[in-house]
Chains A and B, each alone.
Chain A
Amino acid sequence: MPMHSKRSLDSVNGKPLPCPVTIVGGYLGSGKTTLINHLLSQADGSRLAILVNDFGELAIDAQLIEGQEGDVISLSGGCVCCSYGNDLTGALLQLNLDVVDQVVIESSGVALPGAISGSLSLLSEYVVSSIVVLIDASTIQRHAKDKYLADTIERQLASADLIAINKVDLISDEQQWEISDWLKQDYASLSVIEVQESKIPKSLLLIASQHSMSVKETTKGPSDRGHDASIYCTFSLNLPAEYDIAGIACKLAGADNGLLRVKGFIKDLNGAVHTLQMVGSRWSVDTAPEGVSCGLMCIGLKDLCDEEQINKLIESN
């Protein structure tokens, strides 16, 4: 498993590349901590720095803990967990980025992920790679109407690149349709997935280069919802030509094509190669490392996303 001790460098200016940050938002009970535990359990050698508001419900396998010093817990495999209390910026400034591949921030239940992203934009060592907002399918309809919470939930969802409707196993099909309809109406531009037990495939959220871009075939359970291979499709596209990258990225990031995650290399109209990353509705273009071959790895929703259609979308641009 690849373990590099130094940060990746920008191939053009030789400076360390900013560390990708995933912001996990959502109200209490939406499954943020479960998602964190899920990501930690399948980190597979990527060195995650998890920043949580409090250690509270975080169920870290005691065997994984190598040590704790104040607000920082070191885990075997190179991951760390820090509780940041009311000083997220301070916690970020103290991280040793030489030994971190990706940061995941669990925001508090009423925090606005957009505001966290705004603060992060000032720290040049970091770049937000995605904001995922979880909702608890069994309570979201009540919370979205709650007089104290409605506007906070709305602001959280509006800032998301990817909305994960969690705990879909706890609700009826009718409820599920109602929630989907509501999200389609109010948040039409956002990618939405349905999951159980916060099991969002890590390849959707983690950016750092050594993560493979596949979704696991999982055994079918009593319900056929929430299992990776039955929900997601993966495919790769060859990109032989030169492209209007921004134009393509905008189309890929649209919610209607079912595409959730794109990663790869693409030539611009001047023939320069760039890295393209997309998570939900967020995309970014950076200088590519030297010697890479062009092509995109894609993950989409099986029901909505069609390889051929995506190919056409790119070639028609």
Chain B
Amino acid sequence: MITIYAAKKILTMNPARPTVTHVAVRDGLIIGAGSLAELEGFGEHTLNDQFADKIIMPGMVEGHSHAVEGKWWKYVYCGYFDRMDPHGKVWPGLRSIDEVVERLKEQDAKLTDPDEPMAGWSIDPIYYPEKRVTRHDLDRVSTTRPIGIMHASGHIMNTNSRALELAGFLRTGIENEGMPLGEDGLPTGELRGPDIMMPVGNHAGFDGNLFDFDEEGLVDFGKLCVRKGVTTATDLAAKLADEVVDVGVRVTARDDFPLRLMPFRFHHGLTPNELLEHVLQLKEHSTDRFRLGRIKIVADGSIQGFTARIKAPGYYNGAPNGLWYIAPDQMLSIYQLALQHNIQVHTHTNGDEATDLAIDTLETALKTHPTVNHRFTIQHGQLINAAQFKRMSVLGFCVNHFANHHFYWGDEHYHLTVGPERAERMNPCRTALDNGIPLAIHSDAPITPIGPLFTAWCAVNRLTSSGRTQGEYEKISVAEALYAITIGAAYTLQLDDEIGSIEAGKRADFAILEDDPTAIDPVKLKDVRIWGTVQDGRVFDANAL
């Protein structure tokens, strides 16, 4: 059964025929992209013109997200910026601490049990003149129920007095960097770092597995992806316990699940041998829409948390160098074992020293285990420079830059973390492309909202939230950004033979748009309206989810 879709314009990302008007689909496969006359040659077909007034582009590929965003929407959204939830509701950004308190009060009024915990997420106090949120602010919402609000970065939490009290921390005499004290000698309710957050977060309604998706959350993540035109996404750091894999396999197999999900096994807590063994086992459970068998290594921390490993001259504010999250020798063992078994590894590096380590390590590993086409990828790589790209190019490294950082934390990087010069060359997409590095760009959802067109807008315009252009030289064109969120990202996932462009032989994965991203003002790229997606030939209308 052949369906030929007519569109106002189809952006194929196939340079040989960049725009066409029709695409023919059979059993979830694209059998041709061209004119109606050309495609009629395939024989009997149905002509479908539901997209006749729309723009079709390849289904977008989010190469660095965490499926747990779906689950986090169970918590109260407290972010500074407008954000769309899985049901399509746009939650207005909260522009003051008062507005945060107001939203929490609304939720508070809906709960009947005055002791029931309440969890929120995505607060970012750096945008407020006070710079800090305290337990007193949250006590205005409730003094009986424990409240915890996770920061946008995911590394800090604010709690009210009741949550601290339940965890046994509403006392004097605490000496810990992760728990700042107020003038009264009691904790302010700000908790820095997972080890400090967890003991209190447990009382405030966050469950222990903060980064594992659950069934309902995964369904919601799928919906969110439809709304953003995404047909393939990663779950880029998962422990993948048996029960989580069961949920993933089961939920993604449903006829109405609109996404191809690629979970990567997080390295932590296993020896290199155990890790490889687990990943090889996982590979056996891989399905078409739940692709297992890849590794994610986290090499260092974050730049805004001053835990990234950076080279001289170090942090702009003089903070000491950050932390390693893996021993160099372990990284080498994992790289070697992975190359030996044809397992792909993506490595999180934020600081340039961490990137150096990954480059040195792959260079060593390739000498002992010469391999072609491994597509090892640096994730974030926010401070990579041209010299590093030149080495990466020789070794076959890809990069997936965190373009959304320009907007959300660009000003912070400029003034505080790495200073003006290096802030202007963070996530250097231009230099990556000029050095022939396969490029993707990402949101790291739920750290920032999933939405590849927004991410593309960030890479094209490099605007910070205060409206400054940061790093004119590192801007890329709209066409290059569209490549990065489709075929570029597909390449980093070893899927470019299957998805990422609209041409004969590829999967029928489309993003259906109301506006043409190549025809509008590049500064409006983020405002392109999205109708929904087609995934594997199945049509998903965002308004009918």
Contacts and interface: CB of A to CB of B under 8 A. Distances in A.
A238 interface: no
A101 B325 CA distance: 30
A175 interface: no
16 contacts: A27-B327, A28-B327, A53-B269, A54-B274, A87-B194, A93-B202, A108-B327, A109-B327, A110-B323, A110-B324, A119-B195, A121-B174, A121-B175, A121-B176, A146-B328, A148-B357
Interface in A98-138: 108-110, 112, 118-119, 121-124
A121 B271 CA distance: 28
Nearest to A110: B324
Nearest to A88: B195
A57 interface: yes
Given A110-B323, A151-B321, A119 B178 contact: yes
Contacts of A56: 270-271, 273-274
B184 interface: no
B271 A152 contact: no
B434 interface: no
B168 A87 contact: no
Nearest to B177: A118
Interchain residue pairs A-B with the least CB separation, the first 3: A85-B269, A56-B271, A119-B195
B324 A148 contact: yes
Interface in A54-78: 54-57
Contacts of A232: none
A55 B327 CA distance: 17
B26 to A, nearest CB: 46
Given A119-B178, A152-B324, 16 more contacts: A85-B239, A85-B270, A86-B194, A86-B266, A87-B198, A89-B194, A89-B199, A90-B198, A90-B208, A93-B199, A93-B202, A110-B323, A118-B177, A119-B176, A122-B178, A148-B309
A110 B325 contact: yes
A13 to B, nearest CB: 15
B329 interface: yes
A85 B238 CA distance: 12
Given A53-B269, A110-B326, A148-B357, A122 B179 contact: yes
Contacts of A152: 323-324
Nearest to A121: B176
B536 interface: no
Interface string B319-345: 001011111111000000000000000
Contacts of A84: 269
Interface of A is mostly: loop
Contacts of A123: 199
A28 B329 contact: yes
Interface string B174-208: 11111100000000000001111011001000001
A46 interface: no
Contacts of B169: 122
Contacts of A88: 195
A88 B268 CA distance: 12
B324 A118 contact: no
A275 interface: no
B353 interface: yes
A124 B176 CA distance: 13
A110 B299 CA distance: 11
Contacts of A29: 329
A54 B270 contact: yes
A34 to B, nearest CB: 15
Given A56-B274, A85-B239, A118 B176 contact: yes
Nearest to A70: B241
Interface size class of A (residues with CB under 8 A): 20 to 34
A124 B175 CA distance: 12
Contacts of A124: 168
A133 to B, nearest CB: 15
A84 B208 CA distance: 13
Contacts of A83: 269
B299 to A, nearest CB: 10
Nearest to B193: A119
B274 A122 contact: no
Interface string B511-523: 0000000000000
Nearest to B175: A121
B194 A149 contact: no
Residue of B178, B269, B271, B326 contacting most chain A CB atoms (<10 Å): B269
Contacts of A53: 269
Interface in A11-68: 27-29, 53-57
A156 B325 CA distance: 14
A88 B194 CA distance: 10
B417 to A, nearest CB: 19
B474 to A, nearest CB: 27
Nearest to A124: B168
A121 B356 CA distance: 35
A177 B356 CA distance: 34
Interface in B231-250: 239
B198 A89 contact: yes
A250 to B, nearest CB: 19
Nearest to A56: B271
B194 A109 contact: no
A56 B272 CA distance: 9
Residue of A53, A87, A148 contacting most chain B CB atoms (<10 Å): A148
B330 A118 contact: no
A260 to B, nearest CB: 26
A89 B274 contact: no
B196 A122 contact: yes
A114 to B, nearest CB: 10
Contacts of A108: 327
B137 to A, nearest CB: 22
A55 B278 CA distance: 14
Contacts of A85: 239, 268-270
A286 to B, nearest CB: 16
Contacts of B199: 89, 93, 122-123
A125 to B, nearest CB: 9
Contacts of A148: 309, 324, 328, 353, 356-357
A240 B124 CA distance: 60
Contacts of B273: 56
B182 to A, nearest CB: 16
Interface string B258-274: 00000000101111011
Nearest to A71: B269
